[in-house]
Structure formats: C-alpha cells, structure tokens
Amino acid sequence: MNFDDLPENWTSLPLDDGPLASGVIDLVVGYADRLHNSLLVLPCDHRDVGLPSPILVGGTDWGMPSPDRRRALEFLSELPVPGYVVALSARRRLPAPVARGWLRTVEDELDSSGRALLAFGVADADSVEIIGGRAARNGSLGAVAG
C-alpha cells in the first residue's frame, strides 16, 4: 500500500499491519527525506496507533558500527510510549546486511526497555518495504509501497 491507498481512518488504526505501516511510512518519509538518508521514528500509543509526532533525523550514516547505532537509538527507551514504527530511507535501496544490522539494533534497544517494534521499514526513492516488527508477520508479508 502506498500513501494514496491509505484508508480515511488510517490515523486511528494500529500500525502492526504490513500494508498499512508501509503506506504510513510512504506518507511520512517524503522524497526529499529519502534523498537525505532519513531515519523515521514514529511513536505509537497503547493501541498501536501512531502519535502525531514523527521524528525524522536526516543525514544518518547507515554504515556506522553497532555500538554507535546503539548510542544513537538510546532515546527509544526513554520516551514514555509503548511502541514504535521505525524506518530507514535512502536514495537507493540499502544493502540487506545494513538494514538487518539496524533492525537488530532497534530490536535490542526496544526489547531491553519492554517496548514493541510494530513495524520496521526500508524506504528508497520509489518504494517502502516492511522487513521487521509485528507488521512483517501481520497483513501481507513483505508489504511494499511503491
């Protein structure tokens, strides 16, 4: 699902569904954000619904080593929310080992703080793919927006 296909009530739906999560990531992470290696962190409430306060961090170095990724993501355990949607974005598709490394780091950080990873997506200039979190197992597996 891409952002054009989002249902009217998408702001009230849980984001642990693959197609819905990919559509929301497609909407929130715009083309310019994707060109600037932006990290999306979308806090969600106790119903797994996205809060209207996405965090976008541009200029992210996707090649940073694991300890640096862990330090960069420590804030996830400090925000008073039960879950997150997280996405990486770049002009071109990130290599699978890079995306998996970031996914593992996010999972470790959230697991240690008791928070849920609802969806983990990877966006490029043309598409979004859900590769982790509950959404990778719910809805259409490997949900892709594009």
Residue 146, pLDDT score: 52
Residue 137, pLDDT score: 87
48: left (phi over 0), alpha (psi -120 to 50) or beta: left
Q: Delimit the domains of the chain by residue range.
A: 3-145
Spatial neighbors of 123 by CB under 8 A, at least 6 apart, are 25, 26, 29, 34, 87, 88, 89, 90, 129
Q: What is the mean pLDDT of residues 24-34?
A: 97
Residue 34, pLDDT score: 97
- Which of 93, 106, 108 has its CA nearest to residue 144? 93
DSSP annotation string for 77-139: GTSS-SEEEEEEE-SSPPPHHHHHHHHHHHHHHHHHHT-EEEEEEEE-SS-EEEEESGGGTSS
pLDDT digits (tens, 9 = 90+) for 83-132: 999 999 999 999 999 999 999 999 999 999 999 999 999 999 999 999 99
Tell me the pLDDT of the chain averaged across its residues: 93
Strand partners, 119: 85
**For the chain, how many residues are written?**
146
> Are residues 20 and 1 in contact, defined by beta-carbon separation less than 8 angstroms?
yes
User: pLDDT over 70 for what percent of the chain?
Assistant: 95
Residue 1, pLDDT score: 76
State which CATH number among 1.10.10.350, 3.40.50.720, 3.10.20.30, 3.40.140.10 fits the domain covering 3-145. Answer: 3.40.140.10
